[in-house]
Amino acid sequence: KKNNYMSLLIIGGTGTLGRQIVRRAIDEGYSVKCLVRNLRKAYFLKEWGAELVYGDLSLPETIPLALKDSSAIIDASTARPSDPYNAETIDLQGKIALIEAAKTAGIERFIFFSVLNSSEYKEVPLVKLKSKIETYLKNSGLKYTIFNLSGFFQGLISQYAIPILEKQPIWITGESTAINYMDTHDIA
């Protein structure tokens, strides 16, 4: 392994983007740990070569131990509509706790994924939370990188096609807006 000197802790490793980041980091030779809520659901990450550590952003007391021996955090997590708590629990309070734990643990770099042009869409609740975390991270004193992403190709079917077929509501803008969808493989 060529990058053994840097140990990554990846949050959201079972998600659409996170799993691609885990795969790519392992392939590049990084030591990878994944903070996971459900060890059984995340077992495929262990099979790929990642170490699984229990942690839950909705339970801040589970975070500090997971940061041990990590030099960088890659946060690709976000609350899902199916989660049993509101998005603010994960995407604001949980991420603030994660940033504070990172400061205490001496994390060298914090990588966060936000939304392209988030300042223009603050009326959208999740975008508003991500924007608040961008500001919090910028003021944290940590070295950080923020990637502002547009939509994922991988989400088109589950976010639009299926809800439309099932006559469920979807979120769209009121204007005609070109969106450059991205492949999560490319982002990773």
162-183 tens-digit pLDDT: 656 677 666 655 555 555 555 4
For residue 6, give the H/E element and its range.
strand 3-11
Give the integer Cα–Cα distance in Å for 35 and 122.
Answer: 28
Give the integer Cα–Cα distance in Å for 49 and 128.
Answer: 35
How does DSSP classify residue 82?
Answer: T
In this structure, are residues 53 and 65 in contact, taking their beta carbons and an 8 Å threshold? yes
Report the DSSP pairing between strands 144-149 and 109-115: parallel
What's the token pair of residue 35? Answer: 């903070």
How does DSSP classify residue 108?
Answer: S
115-163 tens-digit pLDDT: 776 667 677 677 788 889 999 999 999 999 998 766 544 454 455 556 5
34-78 tens-digit pLDDT: 999 999 999 999 999 999 999 999 899 999 999 999 999 999 988
- Determine the residue type at 62: T
